[in-house]
Amino acid sequence: MLVIPFRPKLLECLHSYDRATFFADLAAGVTVGVVALPLAIGFGIASGVTPAQGLWTAIVAGFLISLLGGSKVQVGGPTGAFVPLLAGIVVGYGYGGLAVATLMAGVMLVLMGVFRLGNLIKFIPYPVTAGFTSGIAVIIAVGQLKEFLGLEVVLPRHTPQQFWVVISNLALTSLPTLAIGAIALLILLGWPKKWRYVPSSIVAVVVTTAAVAALGLNVQTIGSKFGGIPRGLPELTMPKLTFEDFNHLLIPAFTIAMLGAIESLLSAIVADGMIEDRHNSNQELIGQGLANIVCPFVGGISATGAIARTATNIRSGARTPVAGIIHAMTLLVLMMLAAPLAKFIPLASLSAVLLIVAWRMGEWDTFIELSHSTKSDFGVMLTTFALTVVFDLTVAVGAGLLMAAVLFIRRMEEITQIRLVTPKTDLEVGAGSIRDKQVPPGVLVYRIEGPFFFGAAEKLENALARHSEVPKIVIFRMRNVPAVDATGLHALEVVLEKFHRKGTQLLLSGVQPQPMKVLYKAGFVDKIGLDNICANLDVALHRAHDILAPK
């Protein structure tokens, strides 16, 4: 019977909630809400939708993720990791296609949480996540150069082509736009740490907006491109899903779900380390999924846990999910109050904010670290990074996981060793050694070390082939074999059949629980005979003496 794991972290926190905790959450929620305002607008624009859609995503998803998620201090909303993926879906299928893909991804996330797949996401290798995260950072940065420079050009879909178009049209740079973007960038980079309670992104946006208004600069703003931000509540819309849409959008939706799961759980892990807590990964996936199911109905886009906003939430004193709920309410109030003024915000200042986001999200130090350590891991990271930038995230993650899996199999295959041991050649010491034991003539002892799976099964055949004489008895020492898979089992069955034809008796010694369970369920125990599966090497040698003794 499947028991659905639904227990939001908020319920646990409300048991001991008090006035001091509320005021700490209030201060943190207001702070991170102010920080999230320009980011929500910027991510909405960069994803190919309107600023209002980015804001409503931050409000609705931020509220639901904190209300229903599995982390104390996680803050959700639109993120930079989604930008290239969502922008590509909008170009290919329009916002209607993105709404359907987001809804499908939300259902997938809920199912992942229901079937307790949250822990599996943690097994994605770090070089893969670092590679595509850095690739996404490059995509965001290149995509913002057009607005930062004020270029009146149409950018192609792929990043290398976009970069070439920007370089080719540098002579068309708008100097007023570049000046506004540079001012915003300087504020973001040079804002004193002692004033960190005043978000530098808000200061950059306010100062550049005031400069544009005061000087009457001819630069593109939210009002000139999008007509401003509507002040009222969004209209409820119903995403239309046809069978054809389902077929076309299944892979993009799966990519959204996987990326959302990875980023949200990574963010939750970072938060755990900062507050010394432990999140519920399955509940977090359910919360994320429900938020993505609801967002398309208010015109929103895909959302997930945001590492930077979560860290800001923690540093501002957040203690429970109430802070994330207050962050969403703060955004709602700001949107209602500041909507008429938002149309004056220059796009160049928002581009500067996203350039800083891109720089901070990239795993640049990891490139240097891996280049000096494990070459194979560095190759996986570099390949994932390059494929993300040149093609898209789906291809990059798929190829990265495939390479990581192949390298893992290779390393496990290198660990597994199968060799013939004799009293003269055995280098092992202690009770497990055969150096001081009597091995009867015609008996061969092979030591198998490491997992016996499809990557190492061929080694058994090669080890046996090196001995040309037909032995009377072969003992496989398996006390250092922690696991056997179907291919390893098949290899043992083939060897047993060959030995039977040649009149050779096979004995196993020191079989561990997992291999023994596999051998028993497959019927191998019946084929070899329970008496020929021995507890240790001494018992196996005694069994060999009995078999060889004259009748």
pLDDT value, residue 428:
61
The DSSP H or E segment spanning 77 is strand 76-77
**Which two three-digit tokens encode residue 98?**
């993105």
**Which among 234, 236, 237, 235 has a CA at the least distance from the CA of 336?**
234
SS3 assignment for 104-127: HHHHHHHHHHHCCCHHHHHHCCHH
Is residue 100 within 8 A of residue 241, CB to CB? The reply is yes
The DSSP H or E segment spanning 451 is none
Is residue 28 within 8 A of residue 285, CB to CB? The reply is no
| CATH for 437 | 3.30.750.24
pLDDT value, residue 426:
62
Domain match, 390 and 440 both:
no
**Which among 74, 28, 41 has a CA at the least distance from the CA of 329?**
28
Domain match, 212 and 181 both:
yes
The overall pTM is greater than 0.85: no
Domain match, 82 and 176 both:
yes
**Which two three-digit tokens encode residue 17?**
């909630």
Out of 352, 372, 406, pick the residue that ends a domain.
406
Distance (Å, rounded) from C-alpha 74 to C-alpha 309?
8
Phi, psi of 480 (to 5 degrees): -105, 25
324: left (phi over 0), alpha (psi -120 to 50) or beta: alpha
Domain match, 371 and 486 both:
no
Domain match, 366 and 266 both:
yes
Distance (Å, rounded) from C-alpha 149 to C-alpha 195?
29
Domain match, 134 and 165 both:
yes
pLDDT value, residue 148:
94
Q: Is 299 contained in some domain?
A: yes
Q: Is 2 contained in some domain?
A: no
Distance (Å, rounded) from C-alpha 263 to C-alpha 85?
14
Residue type, 148: F
Domain match, 28 and 84 both:
yes
Domain extent for 454: 417-548
Is residue 82 within 8 A of residue 301, CB to CB? The reply is yes
Domain match, 426 and 515 both:
yes
Q: Is 223 contained in some domain?
A: yes
Per-residue pLDDT of the chain (551 residues; tens, 9 = 90+): 455 667 899 998 988 899 999 999 999 999 899 889 999 999 999 999 999 999 999 999 999 999 999 999 999 999 988 998 899 899 888 999 999 999 999 999 999 999 988 877 767 788 888 888 898 889 989 999 999 999 988 888 788 999 999 999 999 999 999 999 999 999 999 988 877 777 888 899 999 999 998 888 889 999 888 887 887 778 888 877 777 777 889 989 999 998 899 889 888 888 888 888 888 999 999 999 999 999 999 999 999 999 889 988 998 889 999 999 999 999 999 888 887 888 889 999 999 999 998 898 888 888 888 888 778 888 888 988 998 888 877 777 778 778 877 777 777 777 788 888 887 766 565 556 677 778 888 888 898 888 888 766 677 777 777 777 788 999 999 988 998 988 888 889 988 999 999 899 999 999 999 999 999 999 999 999 999 999 988 899 899 998 888 76
DSSP 8-state secondary structure symbol assigned to residue 410:
H
**Which among 409, 320, 421, 358 has a CA at the least distance from the CA of 16?**
320
Out of 344, 374, 406, pick the residue that ends a domain.
406
Out of 342, 376, 406, pick the residue that ends a domain.
406
Domain match, 543 and 438 both:
yes
Domain match, 423 and 393 both:
no
Q: In the sheet that 417-421 helps form, which strands lie side by side, from edge to edge?
A: 417-421, 443-449, 473-480, 505-509, 533-534
Q: Is 169 contained in some domain?
A: yes
Q: Is 156 contained in some domain?
A: yes
27: left (phi over 0), alpha (psi -120 to 50) or beta: alpha
The dihedral sign for the CA sequence 109, 112, 114, 116: negative
Domain match, 430 and 393 both:
no
Distance (Å, rounded) from C-alpha 53 to C-alpha 41?
8
pLDDT value, residue 176:
94
**How many domains does the chain contain in total?**
2
> How far, rounded to the nearest angstrom, does the alpha carbon of residue 515 sit from its chain's CA centroid?
32
Domain match, 466 and 379 both:
no
Q: Is 412 contained in some domain?
A: no
Indicate the Cα dihedral angle 112, 116, 120, 121, nearest 10°: 50
Q: Is 182 contained in some domain?
A: yes
Q: Is 370 contained in some domain?
A: yes
Q: Can you tell me whether residue 76 is helix, strand or coil? A: strand
CB atoms within 10 A of CB 254: 15
